[in-house]
């Protein structure tokens, strides 16, 4: 399937990628192409993509750890136990080089659902560990009200950290023929 009609969004993502540190939020209803947009954007970049789900936090941390181990070709980390997000992000940061890196957390709202404190935990990790790194963070979600309350709203823990946001809408009908 071809990639259709997301030039404006790709331009925004590429502009954010050029910054030293950036924090982009992508949200929109289900099945509008958020994940496809992100995967198209990162396909030629150093990037780590994590798709969150509704499993408990211990399972999420373990999945994240194992996927990082796969990504960085580190069998040792897959064998050890990591029980908290701080340790996990410390490991992640230790593996970053000088080259720009993209960290994607898709369906971010699920991490907030399984741990009501996750957005404030991520706020602290971002403020203390990530914001001065040569990294682009992309948080993506499809539960619009939860993304708003956990990331975008004035009283959300992550308010004021985003450098860009994209509310992805369905592709205009006029672009449908490009799929075929």
Domain assignments of the chain as residue spans, ordered by start: 7-53+102-179
175 has pLDDT over 60:
no
Q: Are 35 and 1 in contact (CB under 8 A)?
A: no
Number of residues in the chain: 180
Calculate the average pLDDT of the chain: 89
CB atoms within 10 A of CB 62: 17
| Residue 77 backbone dihedrals phi, psi, to 5 degrees | -65, -30
Q: Are 68 and 88 in contact (CB under 8 A)?
A: yes
4 has pLDDT over 60:
no
Q: What is the pTM of this model?
A: 0.89
CATH superfamily assigned to domain 7-53+102-179? P-loop containing nucleotide triphosphate hydrolases (3.40.50.300)
Q: Are 85 and 121 in contact (CB under 8 A)?
A: yes
What pLDDT band is residue 146 in, cutting at 50, 70 and 90?
confident
CB atoms within 10 A of CB 79: 9
Pairwise pLDDT comparison (86 vs 171), residue with the higher score: 86
Pairwise pLDDT comparison (131 vs 33), residue with the higher score: 131
In the chain, % of residues over pLDDT 90: 69
Residue 94 exposed, middle or buried by CB count within 10 Å (0-12, 13-18, 19+): exposed
Cα maximum dimension of the chain: 51
Helix (H, G, I), strand (E, B), or coil: what is residue 111? helix
Residue range 105-127: mean pLDDT, rounded: 95
**Residue among 121, 119, 125, 127 nearest 150 (CA):** 119
> Cα 79 from chain centroid?
25
Helix (H, G, I), strand (E, B), or coil: what is residue 31? coil
Residue range 140-163: mean pLDDT, rounded: 80
- As a whole number of Å, the CA-based R_g of the chain is 16
**Residue among 180, 125, 113 nearest 157 (CA):** 125
151 has pLDDT over 70:
yes
């Amino acid at each position: 399937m071809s990639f259709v009609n997301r030039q404006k969004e790709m331009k925004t993502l590429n502009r954010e990628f050029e910054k030293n540190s950036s924090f982009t939020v992508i949200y929109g209803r289900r099945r509008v192409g958020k994940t496809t947009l992100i995967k198209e954007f990162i396909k030629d970049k150093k990037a780590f993509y994590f798709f969150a789900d509704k499993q408990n936090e211990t399972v999420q941390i373990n999945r994240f750890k194992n996927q990082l181990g796969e990504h960085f070709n580190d069998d040792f980390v897959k064998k050890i136990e990591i029980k908290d997000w701080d340790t996990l992000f410390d490991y992640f940061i230790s593996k970053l080089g000088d080259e720009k890196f993209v960290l994607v957390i898709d369906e971010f709202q699920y991490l907030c659902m399984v741990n009501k404190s996750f957005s404030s935990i991520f706020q602290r990790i971002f403020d203390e560990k990530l914001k001065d790194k040569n990294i682009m963070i992309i948080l993506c979600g499809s539960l619009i009200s939860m993304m708003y309350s956990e990331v975008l709203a004035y009283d959300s823990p992550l308010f004021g950290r985003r450098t860009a946001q994209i509310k992805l809408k369905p592709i205009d009908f006029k672009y449908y023929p490009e799929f075929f």
